[in-house]
Chain A
Amino acid sequence: MRNIWLIAKREYLERVRTRAFVISTLMIPLLMVAGIVASVLGAGHTKSTLHITVVSRDQQLALDLQKELLNSKPNPMMVDIISPGNPETKATIDSMLADKQIDGYLWITPAAHPGERPAFSYTPRSAADIATRAAITAALRTVLLRERLAHEGMVANDVDSLTEPVKVDTAQAGRNAETTSSYVAIYVLFFLMYMVILLYGMNVARSIIEEKTSRIFEILLATIRPEEMMAGKVIGVGSVGLTQVAVWMLTAVLLATGSWFQAIAGQSAHISLSAAQVIYFFIFFLLGYLLYSSVAAALGAIVNSEQELQQLNMFLVMPLAGCMFALGPVISNPSGTIARIISFIPFCTPLIMYLRISLAPPPAWEVALSIAGMIVTIYGVLWCASRIYRVGILMYGKRPNLSEIMRWLKYS
């Protein structure tokens, strides 16, 4: 244990002390702050309500649309109506658009034949304003539907209740679940793991290659076992990544809870997670990170240079990407056989078991078993990695093929 600690301590201190680490650790929080400051400054310049003009010969349709857009959520629009409009109108509103007096205009051309729909044409000031176009389309659909229903003889109240949006409450066995929060948490976990593994997992492999190229391994192996070295490297290099991510997360949390952030967001982006979910989040994140770092260590043990490592990169990312495909079936039936099987594959456990816990808590023994499975796998991967490392470096000094790796595992 002392040796693992010594190796881990050295790796950690040597890396944390580098200028590159300090800069990259501080850079992201600075960017976050800069981003928020920029959006605060930017917010002052954008009008909060959009202002559009509707040109229509059918005044009733225009009025209905105005009412609908005024009430539209979350961004009500100010709507001017020009009815019926004359040949000079187009030139006038085009110049208004150019002067930024309005944000866009909707031109409604009446239908040529009765019973047909009129033609609609929306001209925004900025072609990128997709949200406004979508809001107008939705409003038009509602207005036309109401008009049609009223035309068919339905009373106004009935029309309102018919067009009322439907609300679906999601309830989970035993408690009210915030399903959205669960999804957010699983996606955060996924991207956090993906990012951390990509950023730092390879550092473990690199630090093992460094030992080989600097030829210091022989002094080390004379005093410590390769397993101890591998474990120390995974823990030491891993902690560097965790330190950095912790600093970033902490900044993000501090910024997100600040009142000025809430003011910008308009409403609080509230995510509710149970204490158990938070604890499991950390457990599965840590175990997943350790597992994938161990795989990286094994890759580092196999290859002799960074170039060779690049070719094996995919082995690190593939299992994680595979989990993404498994999300579908697991979400649709979290307690089904497929979900249960996948959640017991150690490389998928951190994501899939966590997802299951969030959606429909599996029996405690299943959770315990999956965690035990991961720990055993981490140990096994490290054991194999240290075997490959020791045999490879002490006896050959070349990159092994698969059959050689299998044979090396049997060496004493």
Chain B
Amino acid sequence: MAIVQLQDVSKAFDSKLAVDHLSFEIAKGSMFGLLGPNGSGKTSSIRMMIGMTMPDTGSVFLFGQPFDRRSVYRIGYLPEERGLYKKMKVIDQLVFLGELHGLDAVTASKRAHRWCERMEITEAIPKKTEELSKGMQQKIQFIAALLHEPELIIMDEPFSGLDPVNAALLQDTLLDLNRQGRTVLFSTHRMDQVEKLCDTICLIHRGRKVLAGAMQEIKARYPKNRVQMVFEGDPAFLNHPVIETAKNYNGMAEIKLRDGGDAQLLLMDAASRVRITRFEVMEPTLEEIFIENVGDRVDA
């Protein structure tokens, strides 16, 4: 069943077309990546999904029905624009946001304590938000989005500004929630950050869909024509006929093969001429796939 369904949705602000006839579906239980560069219409699409704005044309279905106010209790949303009440105590803040999502104060308070333990910020509970570090504030916003145990979790640029340790904690938590059957939507321009996480993606550019589908299928569609190798010896072998372009960084080479070029052949020839410490045939990254699809249409 599709948790979210966008059908031919468009949205314009004055003369600028933010979302242009966009259609995609998010299946229940998936880890979905809505990817694209800055200003490609990711946030505008999310806002239409959860009824903050209405599409100019096209239709949006949430939990299998047209948007309904009561559905907001089933969504956990971490917006890109983060914010908390500065002067408010963390626990009051979490209870307030929990209540806004339909919880009663007691339940909200209990869950807030439990989540703070899990996110390792129990010492922040009685403090005011303005006394906390930025990373802690992010965790609190993260908790606020999950307190009411939503079926659909929407994270807009969730990892921006987080250090690697906390990013990993957040990642693990989201994977855990996904295993419990919750649907997670990531929206980010940092495609490398979610590449491992997402099972389904939709790449958008200038409000239009570039590419969508299961991650494995998409990757399989693109040839493994990149090789990274580390070697000792004469780099002259890089003139090999299967190589289209090669960059040599002092013993570390990034190689792009010709169409139909066999990496195995290159490995054999190279092995006879230099000493190889590493040889890896690379999958194309999402970023490369994106660039290949969008081509010179990418501005920034």
Contact = CB atoms under 8 A, between A and B. Distances in A.
Interface of A: 3, 6, 10, 14, 18, 210, 214-225, 394-396, 412
Contact of A10 (B83, B96, B145): B96
Given A215-B83, A223-B100, A394-B47, 5 more contacts: A217-B83, A219-B79, A219-B144, A222-B72, A224-B100
A221 B79 CA distance: 11
Contacts, number: 57
A224 B73 CA distance: 10
Contacts of A210: 85
B79 A222 contact: yes
A220 B267 CA distance: 57
A283 B69 CA distance: 34
B150 to A, nearest CB: 11
A222 B52 contact: yes
A395 B77 CA distance: 18
Contacts of B145: 219
Nearest to B53: A394
Given A6-B100, A395-B13, A222 B50 contact: yes
A210 B79 CA distance: 17
A214 B52 contact: no
A221 B47 CA distance: 10
Given A6-B96, A223-B72, A412 B83 contact: no
Interface in B53-109: 53-54, 69, 72-73, 75, 77, 79-88, 96-97, 99-101
A214 B54 contact: no
B189 to A, nearest CB: 18
B74 to A, nearest CB: 11
Nearest to B77: A222
A214 B85 contact: yes
30 contacts: A3-B100, A6-B96, A6-B99, A6-B100, A10-B88, A10-B96, A14-B85, A214-B83, A214-B86, A215-B82, A216-B83, A216-B85, A217-B83, A218-B52, A218-B77, A218-B79, A218-B80, A218-B83, A219-B77, A219-B79, A219-B144, A219-B145, A221-B52, A222-B50, A222-B72, A222-B79, A223-B100, A224-B100, A394-B52, A395-B13
Nearest to A214: B83
- Leading 5 A-B pairs by shortest Cβ distance: A215-B83, A216-B83, A218-B79, A214-B83, A215-B81
Contacts of B75: 222
A219 B99 CA distance: 13
A394 B47 CA distance: 9
B53 A219 contact: no
Tell which of A210, A220, A222 has the most Cβ of chain B within 10 Å. A222
A86 to B, nearest CB: 79
Contact of B101 (A10, A216, A223, A394): A223
Contacts of B100: 3, 6, 220, 223-224
Nearest to A217: B83
A352 B82 CA distance: 46
Nearest to B100: A223
Tell which of A6, A219, A225, A395 has the most Cβ of chain B within 10 Å. A219
A153 to B, nearest CB: 84
Nearest to B80: A218
Nearest to B148: A223
Contacts of B101: 223
A219 B97 contact: yes
Nearest to B130: A214
Contacts of A222: 50, 52, 72, 75, 77, 79
